[in-house]
Amino acid sequence: MAGHALARKLSASGLIFLMFIMSCGPLFQSTAQLDSDEISETSGRQSTLDVDCSGYKFEDLFYYDYADFNIEINNDWATAKMGATAFVNASNSAVVRENLDGLFDGIGGGNNSWMSTDEREAVRAIGPKCIADMDTRLGLREGIPHRGNVDWNDFEFVEDGIALDEVNLVPDNHPEERNCQNLNAQPGCKEVPVSITDNLQILMFVDEEQSNNVRFDQLPNTGSSNFTLALNVTNMSEAGLQLTFPAKQGLRMVNYSILDSATDADGVVTRSENTQLNAPEVTYLPDGRLKIFQAVSYAVSEYPIQRDLFIDFTTMAPETNEAPEWTSNAPSDGTVIPMLDGVSIVVAGERTETWATDDSGWSLDCTFSETGWGASLDGEGNLVVTKANSAASDSAEVECYVADPFGAKSVDSRNWTLGEVFTSTALLSATGDSIEFTVTPTGLVGEMAITAHAHQMSDAMGQMRSATVSSGASTLSLPLDGLSPGAVMVMGQAQNSNMLTLDFMLNFGLEKASLPPVIAVDQNLDGDNATWSATGLTFTLKGQVLDPDGETVTMSLSLCGYSTNNFDRVGSSWEIDVNIVSCSSQNPPVTTYDITLSATDESGTVSTFSVFVPDPYAANTVDDSDDSSGSSGGESEGMPGVSMLATLSIALLGAAVVSRKQREQ
C-alpha cells in the first residue's frame, strides 16, 4: 500500500499528508534542505526524529476529489501566503486514513488499521516540518517568456508560517468509535477503523502569528518588468488555482502555455501544447490587484505525462486601451457620502461596483481638499475612508476619477463631501422595555429621515420607529418586545435627498434583562389546587407557565426534600402527578403538603411558586380516633367510614414504603 511503502522511508511521525505541495516530482530543483529533527511530545509519543519529506508528493498519501489552492504574493515581492483546502470523499477517504495510519508503523497505535485522535494530533504537530521539506512546484523568472526547466526563482515553504487543520479525519461519535487500545494512548483518545468512508477535509493556511508561509528571492524590479510564473500541475486530479499579485500599475497577463511532456523508452522528451484545459481567467480587484484563476485536471490514465503551466506577465501598456467611464449609478457632484464614527467602510462593494465600467476593471483615484484624509476601494470593492490624524476635520471635500489598471482615467471627475451627518447616544428606559435612541444632527445635511429599531444578531428585531431631525436632537423610543434577553443594538437608516442612504448598526453595549417566567396553578371544580387519586397516595396539579421573553422554560417540583421534573407539557399548559410517599417519614405527620414549583428560562432566570395541598383525610383521622375511644360514630351502614379509608391509606402507604426499601436493598 502507498502508506506502508512510505512508512518504510519516512520516520514514524514524518507522516504527512500535506497537501498544497501538490504532487509529483519537482519541476524546479530546490536549493533548500530544511532539517527537522525534533518532534514535540504529542499523542503520548516522545522521540527525536529526523523528518525528511523532500521528494515526496501529495498524491502518495492523499487522494483528493477536489482541491482549492490560493496563493497571494505579498507587497514585498519576496514572500507569499499559500492556503489550500482539499476535499476527500467516500472511498478515497478510507485510502487517506489507511495511508496515514501506515506511516506510524512501529509506534503504539500506528499501522493497526485504526485512525486515532493521537495520530491526528501528531499529524498537526509535525506537518509544518514535513511541508517545509517539500517543493511548492512554483517558480518565477524575470525577463523574456521562459519555458525551460532550469534557473527558476523557486518558492520555498516557511515552516514557522505553516498551520494545518483537518475536518472529520476522526469523526466525532462515530458508530464504530472505540477507546484507543495501545498502552501509550493519551487520556480520552478515540479511534475509528481506517476503512470508514466518511468525507474529510485537509486545510493549510498561514499561522495566525505570521504574515507568510512561502518565500522566494525578491524580484529586483518588484514586478515592474516582464516575468513568467511556472507551476507543475501533474497529478492534480481536479483543482482550482488562484494567484493574486500586489497592486502594480500596468501589470497584466500577456500569454500562457499548458505544456505536456512525455518521455519515451529511449529518454526522448516530447512536449506538446495542451488544448483541453481552459485558459486562465483574469480579474482586476477594485483595489488594483491582479487575480488569476486556473482550473486544472489530470486523469490517472495520463500518468506519467508531466504537465506544466506557464503564465507570462508584463507592465507594458496594451496597444489599445479605452478609458473607464462613470455610469449613471455613480453619485453626482455635490453628493454627501455619510460616515459613522469609527467605521472605515463607508460604502459597500455591492453599491460601488455599479458606479463605473471598464473592460479591464477599475478603481478610484481620489484627492482630498484637506490633508489627513484618504479614500480607496479594497479588494471587495468597499469604499474605505481613513483619517490619518485626529486633527483632521469631521468632514472633507474629495475629487475622484475612475482609473483602470493601466493608468487610464475617466475624462470627468466627481466631487463629493464625506463626513458624519449625526451623532447618537442610547440607553435603556427606566422600565427596561425599550431603548431611548437620541440622534443629534451635525449640520452637514439639512433635514434627515431617521428610521430605527432594536436589533439582535439572531436577526430578531423590535418594532420600527421613525423621526425627522433637522437642527436639534430627537429621541426615538425603540420597543424591545419580542427580543430575547441579552445584547441588543440599534439598526436603521438615515436618508436625505442630497446624500447616499446611510445604513447603520450601532452597538452601545446595551442588554435586555431577562424577565422571570410566570407560573399559574389551576383549581378544580371544588375550588382546590389538587385533585386526589382514589388511593389517596397521589394528587394531580395542573396549570400554565409562560415566559414574557418567549424563551423555552423548564420546570421542576419539590416536596418533602425530593424533586422531580416529570411534567406533561403541551404548549404553555403543564400537568404533574405528585406521589406523597416521599413525605411518609415526616414527623409529625404531614397534614398539608407544601409544594414548590420552579420555572427556569433559557437565560437562567428562575421563578418559584408555592402550592399548599391539605391532606383531605388528616382531620377525619383524628375524629375517628376519638370515636374509637367512646364517641358515637356517624357513618352509614354498608359504607366504609372515613377512618377506615384513612387506615387503609396508611396501610397502603406503609406497604409502598416497605416495597421501596426492599427494592433499594
Task: Tell me the per-residue pLDDT of 71-89, one tens digit each, with 9 for 90 and over.
Answer: 999 999 999 999 999 999 9
Per-residue confidence (pLDDT) for residue 438, from 0 to 100: 97
Per-residue confidence (pLDDT) for residue 106, from 0 to 100: 66
What would the pLDDT profile of 571-618 be if each residue is shown by its tens digit?
Answer: 999 999 999 988 887 878 888 999 999 999 999 999 999 999 998 877
CATH number given to 422-512: 2.60.40
Write out residues in the chain with pLDDT < 70, as ranges: 1-52, 58-61, 105-108, 390-391, 619-665
pTM of the shown model: 0.70
Per-residue confidence (pLDDT) for residue 32, from 0 to 100: 30
CATH number given to 325-420: 2.60.40
CATH number given to 518-616: 2.60.40.10
Element (H, E) at 284: strand 281-284
Per-residue confidence (pLDDT) for residue 616, from 0 to 100: 85
Distances 202 to 61, 88, 93, 391 between C-alpha atoms, Å:
12, 8, 11, 49
Burial 297-327 (b: 16+ CB within 10 A, else e): ebeeeeeebbbbbbbbbbbeeeeebebbebe
- Give CA torsion, residues 438, 444, 448, 454, to 10 deg: -40
What would the pLDDT profile of 446-460 be if each residue is shown by its tens digit?
Answer: 899 999 999 999 888
Report how far apart the first and last C-alpha atoms of the chain are (Å, whole number): 59
Within a 10 A sphere around the Cβ of 628, how many other Cβ atoms? Answer: 10
What would the pLDDT profile of 451-502 be if each residue is shown by its tens digit?
Answer: 999 999 988 899 999 999 998 899 999 999 889 899 999 999 999 999 999 9
Please report where in the chains the cell 486601451 appears, as a residue: 321
d(CA 158, CA 36): 12
The dihedral sign for the CA sequence 306, 143, 82, 281: negative
The overall longest dimension of the chain from CA atoms, in Å, is: 127
| DSSP string over 332-354 | PTT-EEEE-TT--EEE-HHHHTT
Per-residue confidence (pLDDT) for residue 642, from 0 to 100: 34
Please, which residues bridge with residue 52 across strands? Answer: none
Per-residue confidence (pLDDT) for residue 496, from 0 to 100: 96
Per-residue confidence (pLDDT) for residue 372, from 0 to 100: 87
Per-residue confidence (pLDDT) for residue 51, from 0 to 100: 57
Do 619 and 642 meet the contact criterion of CB atoms below 8 Å apart? no
What would the pLDDT profile of 416-449 be if each residue is shown by its tens digit?
Answer: 999 999 999 999 999 999 999 999 999 999 899 9
Element (H, E) at 399: strand 395-403
> Three-state DSSP class for 628?
helix
